[in-house]
Amino acid sequence: MIATDTLPEDPGCYLFSDASGAILYIGKAKNLKKRVSSYFSGREHDAKTAKLVRRIDSVDFIVTGTEVEALILENTLIKRHQPKFNIDLKDSKNYAYIHLSDDPYPRIGIARRARGRGTFFGPFVSARERDSVLALVKKTFGLRSCRKLPKRACLRYHMGTCSAPCIGSISGEDYADLVSRAGEVLKGRAADLLVALRREMEEYAGRQEFEKAIKLRGQISAVEHLSRRQNIVRPKALDEDVINYLVQDGTVYLMLFHVDRGTLADKQEFVFDAGEESIEEFLVQYYAEQMPPSEVILPEPPGEAIEGFLSGRKGKKVRITVPQRGAKKDLIDLVEKNIEIAFFGDRLKLEALKRAVGLPELPHVIECFDISHLSGSAMVGSMVQFREGRPDKSHYRRFRIKTVEGIDDFAAIAEVVRRRYARLAAEDGEFPDLVIIDGGKGQLAAAHAALEGLGVKIPVISIAKREEEVYVPGFSLPLPLSRKQKASLFIQEIRDEAHRFAIAYNRLLRTKEVIK
């Protein structure tokens, strides 16, 4: 079984490999953890997927900024590695262009190749994304898609998605303006266009021409949406390596992204001892074996001789760039995010929890309790343990409630907490660094009282459902912790696992009772 608990809940690509290290399958995901976990959830798969799952030995991943960036990266990785279980696309449909013809009233459509007259935008790495962009541009700017101008308006005009130059409903000058705006968006130059559109909308509103102002507002919204999608691979003549690193406890954690003609293509990870010139030493050793790219992007400048060394290896100028803003700075930040997740994801969660709750030390061992029942029947308790930020299922425990009659979650929580730590005390076992209770102030008070009754001093907190509010003993108000903060998300992750484990035990007991 592949461990999926450490995967991030970010968009990105996952790579399944077999025992020999050969890549079997590459996929994209909006949420890496949920998508990869779905392969190993126990549900039935089709024959091809079942065969894939049986051969998976390891999983790697690359985090991206958006789901669309993941789609672009997926396409690149598939073409580079050609995994056995991915679909082998023989044609070039997913590399088609959007085409604006050079007719008096230009039409917009799809071209398989950037040949002939007119203007071409692309190539698009996804047919789905290309079609979505094409539909949105046609609808937003009312451009025609018919091959020949008809003699009467078609259905698209009556639906409000075409300006219908065929019947003279728009002048040639105004139509040319719409074509120009569409072209600016498809080129990725939306910023200046948005400024002009907003200014024009305000002018119409000032003249109380509200119908025209509302139409422009729709165009502005669509342009903003398109500019965020980043679904075109803009051709570049140069290849780049993007390198970033973090130093922790005398160790360098470094990651290298290779960008091939503007598209993120691959990543490599390295760990080595930190030193005064360790980064320069890495660059020399790595590029002594690998041909340097045309540009190396770094978070800070290396020694002066490095650029000369790289240029000498390549036989022509290699540029070293240290970006402060813009797209290249975004790439540097993306590499850092991947380093944090790959090497420090668990520790960062522990540090965030330590700060949020005010713990004296990192909570290396965390135990969480939950109660489950169905209208008071088959009442059970669960305890899950997280060690160094990951579930440690060998220490999971489940409890049948013995001393509580009816529905009393407070008493049930007190019982399982008391039984757990009375036994640990009797066996001289290892106590956790933090106890989490699924519930509000009442459940927290019951658990805290049970610990005090045993003379056991362990920090204890609770998390209430719905608002995901975190409480600590002695305070009536929850901690000022947003439900989207790293610490809160980590607490929710632990609570959800305890809840899942409790429900599974409750269902098991009820099933046994029915069979009996």
Distances 141 to 46, 145, 179, 285, 354 between C-alpha atoms, Å? 43, 12, 7, 53, 53
Top CATH class of 12-81 equals alpha beta
Mean pLDDT of 161-174: 81
pLDDT over 90 (residue 411): yes
* Between 285 and 509, residue with greater pLDDT: 285
- How is residue 390 written in tokens? 């990951």
Number of CB atoms found within 10 A of residue 188's CB: 13
In the predicted model, what is the mean pLDDT of residues 144-150? Answer: 80
Nearest Cα to 252, choosing from 349, 329, 330, 339?
339
E strand or H helix at 204 = helix 190-206
What CATH topology corresponds to 239-344?
A: archaeoglobus fulgidus dsm 4304 fold (3.30.2170)
CA 418 – CA 403 distance, rounded (Å): 12
Architecture of domain 365-515: 2-Layer Sandwich (3.30)
Q: What is the pLDDT of residue 224?
A: 66
Other beta carbons less than 10 A from residue 291's beta carbon: 10
Q: Would you state the pLDDT for residue 93?
A: 40
The pair of structure tokens assigned to 137 is 């541009």
Comparing CA positions, the residue from 61, 95, 88, 140 lying closest to residue 231 is 95
> In this predicted structure, what is the pLDDT of residue 229?
46
Per residue in 243-258, pLDDT (tens digit) is 999 888 888 889 999 8
Confidence band for 128, pLDDT divided at 50, 70 and 90 = low
Residues 6+ apart with CB under 8 A from 259: 239, 240, 241, 242, 265, 331
Q: 240 is written with which tokens? A: 């780049």
More confident residue, 61 or 114: 61
Instruction: State the average pLDDT over residues 282-291.
Output: 85
For residues 36 and 2, is the Cβ–Cβ distance under 8 A? yes
Given a cut of 90, is residue 276 above it in pLDDT? no
Domains of the chain, by residue range, sit at 12-81, 94-229, 239-344, 365-515
Specify the DSSP element, H or E, that contains 328: helix 327-357
Band (pLDDT 50/70/90 cuts) for residue 353 is very high
Looking only at the bridges linking them, the beta strands covering 365-374 and 319-321 are unpaired
State both tokens at 394.
């060998």
pLDDT, mean over the chain: 82
pLDDT tens, position by position, 300-322: 998 778 888 888 888 889 899 99
Q: If pLDDT is split at 50, 70 and 90, which confidence band does 297 have? A: very high
* pLDDT of res. 410: 92
Among 411, 445, 436, CA closest to 497:
436
Q: Enter the tokens of residue 468.
A: 């995901």
Kindly report which listed range (265-269, 278-282, 384-388) carries the lowest average pLDDT score. 265-269
**Two structure tokens written together for 148:** 């020949």
In single-letter form, the type of residue at position 321 comes to T
Instruction: Please tell me the distance from the alpha carbon of residue 470 to that of residue 423, in angstroms, as a whole number.
Output: 27
Angle at the Cα of 469 from the Cα atoms of 467 and 473, rounded to 5 degrees: 155
Q: Which band of pLDDT confidence, cut at 50, 70 and 90, is reported for residue 340?
A: confident
Over residues 415-458, the pLDDT tens digits come to 999 999 999 999 999 999 999 999 999 999 999 999 999 999 99
Please, which pLDDT band fits residue 90 given cuts at 50, 70 and 90?
Answer: very low
| Closest among 47, 51, 41, 44 to 16, alpha carbons compared | 51
Q: What is the pLDDT of residues 197-236, one digit of tens each?
A: 677 788 778 878 777 777 777 767 766 665 554 433 444 5
pLDDT band at 116 (very low <50, low <70, confident <90, very high): confident
- pLDDT of the residue at 422: 95
